Amino acid sequence: MEELLNVVSEGIKKINTNIARNKKYFDYPFTSNCDHYYKLMLLHSQSQCWDQFLQLLVSFNEKRNVEFHKRSNDFERMMKNEKAGIPGFVTQATLTQIIDYMRTLEWKIDELVGVKIQNKEV
């Protein structure tokens, strides 16, 4: 994820440098050429798109870089308590926590291995 953020940041720097170079072109007296104004507008549009994409990547990175601890004992204890109350019943809150924890673990596995695990419906 960090490598992707670095690549996108470098691309944004290149576009911003290109914008700055094209703005300097307008300091010269022969700037009545409309093509350069259009090119500058396109570069600004590109820059805005890449900035939004970078913000999206940063938000994904922040969501995935969460510290997590081994929680199997906690889940086991919660499930024992819930089954003791009503046999064979586990609350929706516990199931939601387990699923969120599993997703976090899958993200970590994806980052370490670099291979996407296929979702196979059983």
Q: Are residues 76 and 59 in the same domain?
A: no
Matching residue, tokens 């609350």: 91
The full 3-state SS of 23-91, as one line of letters, equals HHHCCCCCCCCHHHHHHHHHHHHHHHHHHHHHHHHHHHHHHHCCCCCCCHHHHHHHHHHHHHHCCCCCC
pLDDT for the residue numbered 114: 55
Q: Are residues 26 and 80 in the same domain?
A: no
pLDDT for the residue numbered 52: 95
Residue 120 counted as domain residue: no
Q: Which residues of the chain have pLDDT under 70?
A: 25-33, 66-68, 113-122
pLDDT for the residue numbered 66: 63
CA distances from 19 to 35, 54, 119 (A): 14, 18, 43
pLDDT for the residue numbered 122: 43
Q: Which domain holds residue 48?
A: 2-64
Q: Are residues 76 and 55 in the same domain?
A: no
